[in-house]
Structures are given as C-alpha cells and as structure tokens.
Amino acid sequence: MPSPRNALAIVLAAGEGTRMKSDTPKVLHQVAGRSMLAHVLAAVAEAEVGTVAIVMGPGRDDVRVEALRLTPGARTFVQSERLGTAHAVLAAREAIAAGYDDLLVLFADTPLVSGGTIRALREALAQGAGVAALGFIAADPFGYGRLLQDASGRLVAIREEKDASETERAVKLCNAGLMALDGKSALDWLGRIGNANAKGEYYLTDVVEMARAAGREARVVLADESEVLGVNDRIQLAQAEAVAQSRLRRAAMAAGVTMIAPETVFLCADTVFGRDVLLEPNVVIGPGVTIGDKTVIHAFSHLEGAKVGADAAIGPFARLRPGAALAEAAKVGNFVEIKNANVAKGAKVNHLTYIGDADIGANANIGAGTITCNYDGFFKYRTVIGENAFIGSNSALVAPVTVGAGAYVGSGSVVTKDVTADALAVARGRQMEKAGWAANFRSVQTDKKAKK
C-alpha cells in the first residue's frame, strides 16, 4: 500500500445452503480440514484487514461461535430477511458507518480466495478507484453475472444473467462477487440501490453504476476461475477440496517434501512440514499435524493432531491420533495406533499395538500386540514406560502403571502393578503340559464324528 489505509471486511455468511442437504450451515462445511468461513477469515488476516464484520442468518449461534473463535475481535450482524446482496451488506450498517478507507465485501462460501487477491482489490482503491470488482474469465459463463467494460477497459456495469441482453451474455468476463468499495462513500451508494430487476432484489453489483454516477472510477481485478469457485452444494464442495489439495501438495513439494504419488496424499490447511520429508502413497493428514525434517510417512498412514520429530518413521498403516507426540528417530510401525502419548527419542513401537495416554521413554522397545489399558469405562489413566525398557509381545499394561527404566516385561503378561527399574516382570498363567493328550483327544473326537 502506498500509505496506511484502514479497512473493514464484511463477510457474508447468511446463506442457508439448502442445496447442501445438511443440518450444518453451509459456511461451516470443511475444505482441507478447515471450515469455509475459516479459509476466508485467514485470507482476510493475510491481507491485513484490521476489522471484520460477519453477516449471518437468524439463530445461527454456531456460525457466531466459529467466527469469534477464529477472529476474536469480529463483530457479528444478523440479516433477518434475504432481499439481495446489497441488503445483506447493509445488515452491517453500523460498522460501515465508521467510515473506513476500504470496505471489502467477501463471501464465506468462496473459500479459495487468497490474501493476495484481497490485497489487489485494496490496491485498486489506493490507486483512486471508487469500486473494484473481482472478475474471472469463465470457461462457461452461463449463470454468472457479466462485467461490462468500455473501450478503455473501465468497468461500466455488472449485469446479472437474468437481466442481461444477448450481446451482454456473450461476454466471458464474469463477476466473482467479491468487491472493494471506497469506505467513505459506500453507505451512501448502497443506500441508493433499488430492486427494479428480474429478481426484485437489491443487488450489490449496482454499486458500480452508483459510483460512476458520482464521478468515481470502477475497475476490474482479475483472478483465476478456480480461485473464485463458490460452493453451493456437495459437488462444488468436492471441487473446492480438489483445488485446495492441489495447492497444498504443490506448496509442500516446493518447500522440500517428496511425494511419491501426490494425487493420493491428502493434507490439511495447517499441516507443517520440515525439509526432506517423504510421504508415500495414500497418506492422509488431518488438522494440527507437524512433521519434522527427514521423517518418512509410509503408505496408508493417517495422522491427526500429532507432532512428529525429525528422522522418525511412521507406518505403513499407522494411525496417530490427537495428542501423539513423537520425538527424534522414534518409530511407529504397521497397524499401530498412538493417542495422547509421548514417544521419546529412538523408541520403537513396531507393530500391532495400541498406545494411549502414555509416556514412552527413550530407546524403549514395545513388542507386537502390546496394549496400554487406559480406560475403565469412566476415567482415563496413564502408563509410564521408562527409557530402555522392553515390553514383550502380547502384553497388556493396566493403567495407572509404571514400568521402570531398563525393565523387561515378559511376553503375554498382564501388568497391574509398577515394575521397578531393571527388573523382569512376568504376569501370566503357569504353563502346563499333559503328555499324549492331543493324540487321545483326536482319537475320541474322530470316533464320535464317525458314529454320527
């Protein structure tokens, strides 16, 4: 920006989303592990817009809670009737009246717009435009409003398709909906908009002609069609997910992550990678995951809410649930589940094991089939396994319990009491043998079967 300018972003989030066929408000449906509203608010923050107003429908406390969680200083307004986009913006009249330099109108169901594009809209205002409308060249313009320009490229009007002439419908420069207005004039212009159109609604797009009538210039800011994809149903939600995943994969690979089959890997908007991470095919990463340098995530693993240190190895077919924290060079193998547990440097949990609510010491070895029994039906309890401890295969550790450093637990044990450091604990039934029993059993059963 040439000079500091204050800004208000009005995020329209009042749509019912009936085509989503869902009890969840449309704007709270997720793309790349983050609600569509969250994506828009993240772009607003990236564009350094200082004040945010959310316009929502009546009774939508869930939208208010999400908005305030994401942007604690946001103001919320209710659009009690749905009479068009200009009417929706005016629901935040009280905020607009403060007279910001820049007024941004954004849509909570257009989740892929970047902070850079919002900055471009603001830049057009800083250069003297009264209105800047976001546009795109549509492969198929059917259904979109058209941006009409004069011979010099200045924006003359935005025409909704139902109100457009045949000549205007041939235009492929389409309206993305997002707009920036001179904040000092916006309230006056918005108040002059009428509803003499095919829908009988108050169109925000008419503000272009209001600005021009006041002697102000209107400009078009171009974006890619994929960036301005609006989501109205689950088909479009899947399209937005595909675009978001493509972006995330490209960004990760550009930052030093290797993906053997990128199209099979699914990331989250907040995933953090170190350098030289390797992701094998069919890895799914949910919210809240950090992966350190040179770590390998083997095929068919699922991570969510997990912190993984450098030089670790995960999977294949491993599941890291929220609260899993793996230190440097830790190893979690196939068919292992880790939940709310710390696995220290060099510890190994190689296969067929559940570790929940536990602390695993450095260089400990957890044998196949081990279970930390952490839940009694009412409360969760913690298991502590010391460094260099060895837990034999098919053992059950009944929490709360501590296995001391360097201790061994014999295979097949059910451990209910603490084990001291460097001790051997064996907790299983004594083996008994009856010579010839099996041969006699087979003979008796064979005779019974023959008689039947």
The residues that are catalytic are 351
**What are the phi and psi torsion angles at 156 (to 5°)?**
-100, -40
Find out whether 354 is annotated in a ligand binding site: yes
Find out whether 368 is annotated in a ligand binding site: yes
Find out whether 145 is annotated in a ligand binding site: yes
Find out whether 22 is annotated in a ligand binding site: no
Find out whether 375 is annotated in a ligand binding site: yes
Find out whether 203 is annotated in a ligand binding site: no
Find out whether 14 is annotated in a ligand binding site: yes
Find out whether 127 is annotated in a ligand binding site: no
Find out whether 26 is annotated in a ligand binding site: yes
Find out whether 175 is annotated in a ligand binding site: yes
Find out whether 13 is annotated in a ligand binding site: yes
Find out whether 395 is annotated in a ligand binding site: no
Find out whether 7 is annotated in a ligand binding site: no
Find out whether 200 is annotated in a ligand binding site: no
Find out whether 339 is annotated in a ligand binding site: yes
Distance separating alpha carbons of residues 423 and 231, to the nearest angstrom = 61
* Residue set of the binding site for acetyl-CoA: 368, 374-375, 393, 411, 428
* Residue set of the binding site for UDP-N-acetyl-alpha-D-glucosamine: 12-15, 26, 79, 84-85, 145, 160, 175, 232, 321, 339, 354, 365
* Residue set of the binding site: 12-15, 26, 79, 84-85, 109, 145, 160, 175, 232, 321, 339, 354, 365, 368, 374-375, 393, 411, 428
